[in-house]
Chains A and B, each alone.
Chain A
Amino acid sequence: DAGVTQSPTHLIKTRGQQVTLRCSPISGHKSVSWYQQVLGQGPQFIFQYYEKEERGRGNFPDRFSARQFPNYSSELNVNALLLGDSALYLCASSSRTGSSYNEQFFGPGTRLTVL
């Protein structure tokens, strides 16, 4: 079975541009979460979506938005890019939410560089 897939693998943008990152969860998983990982740090939670609804939002500005589609894939959009948005963006899927378990499976990430 395929794991979590993300596209593109790498992306280079300039300040002020907009970017869309894509994620396909493991088949049967209905929950998708997005994380930002700056070099040398642990991932920071951005969003969680479950059954196409936003279920959680981290401490990120409104320039960050996301959505989940009927097939449970997801997109993360970032507007008005800043140099500080350069990071590895990780998508994780899990089979459920709202329980005491939250075993997430991560994709390989999208490396975004903002020049």
Chain B
Amino acid sequence: TQLLEQSPQFLSIQEGENLTVYCNSSSVFSSLQWYRQEPGEGPVLLVTVVTGGEVKKLKRLTFQFGDARKDSSLHITAAQPGDTGLYLCAGAGGGYQKVTFGTGTKLQVIP
């Protein structure tokens, strides 16, 4: 069974601070996605990383895929209240593209 553990589970920070969310597994994934989900809505795709060691930037968000494709991190610089939400990593692998979601990190950015 593939499992993705995210840390921390909860994070409450002040506007302008930096933060890093981690997504770890003992399994190798062919690709890994990061999503943000707001209450009552479906997850919204932020980025997909495919190559081990890959780094992608999306404005103030930096995503990295581990060299062994087992882990990933999301770094947010100068967090804004609009960054508040549930951040989910999801790994794809297997012949039928079963997607395994992480346990989630709930981020609150206080103005």
Instruction: Mark A residues whose CB is within 8 Å of B.
Output: 4, 31, 33, 35, 40-45, 48, 55-56, 58, 90, 92, 97-109, 111
Which residues of chain A are within 8 angstroms of B50 by Cβ–Cβ distance?
100-101
Q: Say yes or no: A45-B30 contact (C-beta < 8 A), given A101-B48, A101-B50, A105-B45.
A: no
What is the count of residue pairs linking A and B with beta-carbon distances less than 8 angstroms?
Answer: 75
Q: Cβ of A102 and Cβ of B43 under 8 Å apart?
A: no
Q: What secondary structure prevails in chain A residues at the interface with B?
A: loop
Give residues of chain B (74-107) contacting chain A, Cβ–Cβ below 8 Å: 88, 90, 92, 94-104
Min C-beta distance of A53 to chain B, whole Å: 10
Additional 14 contacts, C-beta under 8 A, given A45-B100, A111-B40? A4-B42, A42-B88, A43-B43, A48-B97, A56-B96, A90-B43, A101-B31, A102-B33, A103-B45, A104-B45, A106-B35, A107-B42, A108-B40, A109-B41
